Structure 1
Amino acid sequence: MNEPARGPSLAWRLATAFALVCALVLGVAGVFLYRSLEAELVYRDDQALLGRLEQVRALIQDSDSLDALQQRPRLYQNMLANQESLLLVNRADGTPVITINPWQQALPPLTPIVDPRSPLASDIQRWPGLVLLAGSTQGPRGESLTVVVGKRLAEREAMLASYRLRVYLAVGFGGLLAFALGLVLLRRALRPLGHLAATVAGIELRSLDRRLNLRGIPRELHEPVQALNGMLARLDDSFQRLSQFSADLAHEIRTPLHNLLGSNGLALSQPRSSADYQEVLASNLEEFERLNRMVENLLFLARADHGERLLNGQPIELHPLGEDLCAYFEALAEDRGLRLDNRLQGTLQADLQLLQRALANLLANAVRHATPGSTVILGGAQGRLFVSNQGERIGAAHVDKLFDRFYRVDPSRAAPGDSGGLGLAIVRSIMDLHGGTVEVSSDEQATVFSLVFPPIGHPSL
């Protein structure tokens, strides 16, 4: 048989998810910081252009003549402070007065700001790789001049490109580091699961009493571990019951088989008369009937446990049913000096055959254990029926085991016509099929077995 394909481990999945989350967070933070830096650089460059235009306007207006301005080019170069900036001052006819354009940048046509309006950031004209701002002013002698200030963006774009690369590297490296650290931490955190798996794998039929230790287990795993311990407890209890059931079944079957072998062996040991053989066959028939009842009861319990017995729910008149059951057990009750009192009233929605069997088992049990001369009461109404008898009190240690298969409070009191220790187990199975319960109470005054049925409309009915 081919083994099923294994998927990625939980640690790898969680580490990958953790790395993706970290990369996403770093990426968002990087984009935010990049946009913030870009906006800050744009703002500073814009403010520098606005201030430069105002400075050049003021310088021109304060000069004595244009010739004096042309003789001081170093002043303008110091004002620009770097090779990325440019400054053009032109007359109205386009004749240059001052030209500082280290890169010989070709300029597009510009619309200058009318003097004396102060420039605004919205007046700056942006072109690929270049920002420009133009304004008009008057020279020392009143002539019209156009001032153009600008800046190439190569340095800014190089800086932003370098910053983007660092953001990409930080996101990638951060994601890889988060994956590696997450994988290491997750594998360490999942070690208790490996210990649990090894402990569970070591539990066998002979060690079902072992339980998983919560010491060192993360708090999030306490509930699953406790659920596993509960499951182990149920398995242990079921296995113990199964083992006890097997032993009880072997014991119950051994007794009639031993009787059959003994009687047949004795009959065949020497010649017998026809009457003797008939007596042996009659005795054997009783044992066969006992085995047959046991097999039928076990078959019923097996079908009930597997849900193969379907209910035939119908309204049942309880008092006539009680009369029939009392009439059936009347002879057995008279033999023990008992009186049967039918107090059943009303109707009940249930399976007639199963209800008859449950009440018959309880009556047979009550007649068998009642004190001679007392009264066995069959009573109840609606959804609660009971069988009560006066007799020896059932000890508290036995109450929880009464409905186990083959369990008897006093095995020595087993009679040839009893149910083989399966009667009360059958009663409980019948009530389980109806969705109800069976209860028992016992004291010095009486022992009462009660059948509690669910209300009308229950899914089982």
Structure 2
Amino acid sequence: MKRLEASRVSLTVRLTVLFALVVGAVFSGLGYLVHRETAAHFVELDQALLRDKLALIRGIAERSTGPNDLSAQLGAALRGHEGLLLRIDTAGQEIFRLGAFEVPPALRDAPAGLSWSDGDMSYYGELNTLPLHWDAQAALEVYAAVDTHHHRHFLELLQRQLLIYIALSIAASTLLGAVVTRRGLRPLLAMKHQAERVNARDFTERMPVSSLPVEMRGLASSINDMLDRLQRDFDRLNAFSTDLAHELRTPLSNLLTNAQVTLAVPRGGDAYRASLEVISEELQRLAKTVSDMLYLAKTENDASLPSVELVDLASEARSLVDFYEAVADEKGVRFSVTGDARVRGDRLMIRRAIGNLLSNAVRHAPAQDRVEVAISLTAARARLRVSNTGEPLTADQRRAMFDRFFRLSQGRQRLEGEGVGLGLPITRAIMSSHQGEVDVHCENGRIHFTLGFPREA
């Protein structure tokens, strides 16, 4: 549910929030770094001050003759040092104090120095031990500290200013990010408006690739390619619908005319039988057309094969030749099958593709012709070629040969024995399902249809 709600957030809002988060993270890190380094610098200054005072105390201790002399010299030397706190003990007795300074117990166990607070005041102190030249058995314990409340106040002020600046920066970056994102996404809005103008009546609209940013040109080109494919498919679908209407109109018109003529006047049994035979013939042709259309649609839209096995092309070709010899004998057409190859695929589909080519060759071959089936192997392909004598085909005819309902005869009137024009489109769809191809070319007065299969290893 959360993922669904997140997907409804606009891209502008997402980029703006992301930009604000990045700016906030960068400025927060920078503010933390500035605050930490400033605090560390103040500590270094305090340490340097205490080292200077400790050096001064060491020099005075070396020149002094006793505790009283040391206290007098320190009082004279350290007079007027604001913020400096000192307490010097020896043998457990205090011999000098500067300022109201209560030594915290934790300072004795902090050799690297200690920071602490006392009410509104804050301090940094160190404990150092110095030798006494007048008493080798004792030593000076020097508790030195500096008042750091002004440092703390400065750091607190700096922290507040940094927080205010970070908050203002995040707010400004959010507004600026929204403006920049909207301007940056204008090409997408232009693509959206362009796409809205595409409809079933007008497929000519395309994305303006050259005017888009480099990052969006690939997307626009892909959309244009998709629109080109859709337009080709849509045009082909329109042509198919028109051709289909014409193909179905003719047999339906024949059926209706024959039925009306038969029913117009009373007739004898032979007349009714003849009429029913005509109707039966038209219904058979109509049923075959519908069956071929369904098979073609299924083959084109489903790239998977029903079954895959090793298919012997020569064996299938000879089996089909035996089937078509009965029809070919009427025209005196003979067959020859040469070569051998095996491919992987659906045997029934391959058999239908070969059968379509043989049926086409027998139908268009002249009397006493020879239909040759030649099977060959190349490095990457197994080829089956069906050849028959025929008139040379023009380039336009060869290109349109595999379109639905295409016929060599002009117009839509079907010549005797001519099919409906679905055999070759079915063959192409079958070869496409097998990652193969089918082509046609003319040479030396013969027409050659060739099926190319991926070669079986």
Normalising to structure 2: TM-score of the pair? 0.82
CA spacing shift, 1:295–1:41, aligned 2, 3 Å: same
Q: 2:196 aligns with which of 189, 201, 211?
A: 201
Residue 435 (structure 1) shift: 3.9
Which residue number in structure 1 is paired with residue 392 of structure 2?
A: 393
CA spacing shift, 1:177–1:444, aligned 2, 3 Å: farther
- 2:147 is equivalent to residue 152 of structure 1: yes
Which residue number in structure 2 is paired with residue 42 of structure 1?
A: 43
Mapped to 2, the partners of 1:433 and 1:91 lie a distance apart of 102
Mapped to 2, the partners of 1:244 and 1:366 lie a distance apart of 26
Which residue number in structure 2 is paired with residue 165 of structure 1?
A: 160
Mapped to 2, the partners of 1:273 and 1:124 lie a distance apart of 129
What letter matches 1:31 in structure 2? Y
Mapped to 2, the partners of 1:51 and 1:68 lie a distance apart of 18
What letter matches 2:437 in structure 1? T
- 2:193 is equivalent to residue 192 of structure 1: no
CA spacing shift, 1:445–1:77, aligned 2, 3 Å: farther
CA spacing shift, 1:32–1:313, aligned 2, 3 Å: closer
What letter matches 2:79 in structure 1? Q
Residue 76 (structure 1) shift: 2.8
Asked if the contact 2:86–2:101 (Cα under 8 Å) also holds between the matched residues in 1, the reply is: no
Normalising to structure 1: TM-score of the pair? 0.81
Which residue number in structure 2 is paired with residue 354 of structure 1?
A: 349
CA spacing shift, 1:30–1:337, aligned 2, 3 Å: same
Q: Paired residues, what number?
A: 439
Mapped to 1, the partners of 2:369 and 2:179 lie a distance apart of 78
Mapped to 2, the partners of 1:337 and 1:194 lie a distance apart of 69
Q: 1:329 aligns with which of 324, 330, 350?
A: 324
Which residue number in structure 1 is paired with residue 449 of structure 2?
A: 449
1:281-430 residue pairs with structure 2 within 5 A? 281-307=276-302, 311-343=306-338, 345-381=340-376, 383-412=382-411, 414-430=414-430
Mapped to 2, the partners of 1:111 and 1:257 lie a distance apart of 111
Asked if the contact 1:57–1:147 (Cα under 8 Å) also holds between the matched residues in 2, the reply is: no
Which range moved further: 287-296 or 259-268? 259-268
Residue 422 (structure 1) shift: 0.6
Which residue number in structure 1 is paired with residue 59 of structure 2?
A: 58
Q: Deviations for 1:387-446, whole angstroms, at most 9, x for unmatched residues? A: 112212222223333222212233457334443111111212322343432222234533
Mapped to 1, the partners of 2:92 and 2:101 lie a distance apart of 20
Asked if the contact 2:20–2:170 (Cα under 8 Å) also holds between the matched residues in 1, the reply is: yes
Which residue number in structure 2 is paired with residue 248 of structure 1?
A: 243
Which residue number in structure 1 is paired with residue 28 of structure 2?
A: 27
Which range moved further: 345-354 or 218-227? 345-354
Which residue number in structure 2 is paired with residue 105 of structure 1?
A: 101
Asked if the contact 2:87–2:94 (Cα under 8 Å) also holds between the matched residues in 1, the reply is: no
- 2:232 is equivalent to residue 237 of structure 1: yes
Mapped to 1, the partners of 2:73 and 2:290 lie a distance apart of 128
Mapped to 1, the partners of 2:263 and 2:453 lie a distance apart of 54
Which residue number in structure 2 is paired with residue 130 of structure 1?
A: 124
Partner SS for 1:204: coil
Which residue number in structure 1 is paired with residue 119 of structure 2?
A: none
Q: Percent identity?
A: 29
What letter matches 1:131 in structure 2? G
Mapped to 2, the partners of 1:308 and 1:133 lie a distance apart of 87
Partner SS for 2:286: helix
RMSD, aligned CA: 3.6
Unaligned 5+ runs, structure 2: 117-122
Asked if the contact 1:86–1:150 (Cα under 8 Å) also holds between the matched residues in 2, the reply is: yes
What letter matches 1:76 in structure 2? L
Which residue number in structure 1 is paired with residue 439 of structure 2?
A: 439
CA spacing shift, 1:256–1:344, aligned 2, 3 Å: farther
Unaligned 5+ runs, structure 1: 113-121
CA spacing shift, 1:91–1:357, aligned 2, 3 Å: closer
What letter matches 2:245 in structure 1? A
Which range moved further: 346-355 or 296-305? 346-355
